[in-house]
Chain A
Amino acid sequence: MNWAGLYTVLSGVNRHSTSIGRIWLSVIFIFRIMVLVVAAESVWGDEKSAFTCNTQQPGCNSVCYDHFFPISHIRLWALQLILVTTPALLVAMHVAYQQHQEKKLLVLTGHADPKHMEEVKKHKMRISGSLWWTYVCSVVFRLLFEAVFMYIFYMLYPGYQMVRLVKCEAYPCPNTVDCFISRPTEKTIFTVFMLVTSSICIVLNMAELVYLVVRACARRGQHNSNPSSGKGSFYGHKLSSEYKQNEINQLLTEQDGSLKDMLRRNPVLQEKGDRCSAC
């Protein structure tokens, strides 16, 4: 399991994301993970072996390195990238669950032929109903993880700049000892680069959140102003078999919302407009 494995897992989620979500995924994989793997890892590759202290005292080098670098940048970035990409798996799980429910409904209504089953697997889920909430939660978690890691970085390495020289007085170093870091300028450049891409990802996540909320509210407004589900006319034939068949057909072609909600709505038609996410 390496970055390529993660890429395989997350490419599946891509299909059910918004356009901003897809751009975010591309930025993560190309400008962060790829840069980490092909460039940054070789910059930090010799960080310990080339960390030199002006002393011959054995152990001083190791102790000073450990004191100034409790956790290496590379490992912090790897953790950040893994934690930031995994909330998308919540969405993948929810989609899989919904697809499973749809397949069950198809079996119940006698439409369990291979063509319909394939259609369920291949079609793109609309981000509405409970999936909307899952998606929004995953975006919020992404934002949270990004912010937390940026703060940790700032706490561990104030100013994001890598200095050339650090003065160390930890035991067993005699008095104060000058220690020199390898490739500080190159490390600063890459730190700033990763910081900038992280900020871009934060902005994309916020934009996606705003987009989702605006879309849900617009859909709710449309639902309210277009009462095609007007209570008066529907109650007359709400239990008729044609209505049921229409509902099922609509379900199969549009795959709108959760299936149980549709069936539940059938006997007692209830406006779901009071919930912002219901579409």
Chain B
Amino acid sequence: MDWGALHTILGGVNKHSTSIGKIWLTVLFIFRIMILVVAAERVWGDEQDDFVCNTLQPGCKNVCYDHFFPISHIRLWALQLIFVSTPALLVAMHVAYRRHEKKRQFRKGDQKCEYKDIEEIRKQRFHIEGSLWWTYTSSIFFRLVFEAVFMYAFYFMYDGFRMPRLMKCNAWPCPNTVDCFVSRPTEKTVFTIFMIAVSSICILLNVAELCYLLTKFFLRRSKKAANKKQHPNHENKEETKQNEMNELISDSCQNTVIGFSS
């Protein structure tokens, strides 16, 4: 179970995302996960072995390293990426649930369902509306929250995003104050800034996607309200009812059921 498996799991979600969501997923996998695996892990690979302190006191190096790096950048990024990509699974679960419901309707021979084949249900792409809209919006919101929390945790733990060359340590058992030198500080700073920048891009993409979804929601709502206003005299006529039914059927099977119940 590694990043490849996560990619397989999330690839399925891609089909039901908006275009911005697909871009976000691509940025996540190529500019963050891939960079982490092929480059960043090598840079941080010798972080403890090459952390050198100016002392022969045994244990001083371990203690100083632990004091300055409570959790390594690499692990923080790995956790951040796992947490940020998992809200998409909420959407995947909701889609699976909807598919299951439609298969049940199909099997019961429900005439409201327009599908000819179970395969069609399996392959169909769902529109982001109704309860799925709420699930999708919640998943984006959680993504944003996790990104922000991890960026703050980074900033808080490492006092900014720069990796210093030298750290002065006086934790026991180090005698007095001891100079400790970090391995590859400049390269680490470069990668930290890169990951922060891509993280910010992902935050922007999420905000844009949220705005896009909200705009679409309000537009659809105002369109429905406008349609209702245009035909106030025909409210009780059969044709209007039939038109509504047809509109609902063409939108989705699910909405048809809602239309009938209202």
Contact = CB atoms under 8 A, between A and B. Distances in A.
Contacts of A34: 1-2, 5-6, 82
B6 A30 contact: yes
A50 B58 CA distance: 11
A23 B71 CA distance: 28
Interface in B61-117: 61-63, 65-66, 69-72, 74-75, 78-79, 82, 86, 89, 93, 97, 107
B255 to A, nearest CB: 23
B49 interface: yes
Nearest to B51: A50
A38 B66 contact: no
B1 A7 contact: yes
Interface in A186-222: 186, 189-190, 193
Contacts of B6: 30, 34
Contacts of A29: 1, 5
Contacts of B57: 54
B141 to A, nearest CB: 19
A193 B48 CA distance: 22
Given A29-B1, A186-B75, A54 B62 contact: no
B62 A4 contact: no
A39 B62 contact: no
B48 A182 contact: yes
- Bin chain B's interface residue count: 20 to 34
A46 B58 contact: no
Interface in B167-205: 173
Contacts of B62: 50, 52, 164, 180-182
Contacts of B12: none
Contact of B69 (A37, A39, A186): A186
B259 interface: no
Contacts of B130: none
A29 B8 CA distance: 13
A75 to B, nearest CB: 17
A43 B3 CA distance: 18
A42 to B, nearest CB: 7
Interface of A: 3-4, 6-7, 19, 22-23, 26, 29-31, 33-35, 37-39, 42-43, 46, 50, 52-55, 164-165, 178-186, 189-190, 193, 253
Given A31-B82, A38-B3, A180-B58, 11 more contacts: A34-B5, A34-B6, A38-B2, A39-B74, A39-B75, A39-B78, A178-B58, A178-B173, A181-B62, A189-B70, A253-B107
24 contacts: A3-B1, A7-B1, A30-B1, A30-B86, A30-B89, A31-B86, A34-B2, A34-B6, A38-B2, A38-B3, A42-B41, A42-B74, A43-B75, A50-B62, A53-B59, A54-B58, A178-B58, A178-B59, A180-B173, A182-B48, A182-B62, A184-B66, A186-B71, A189-B71
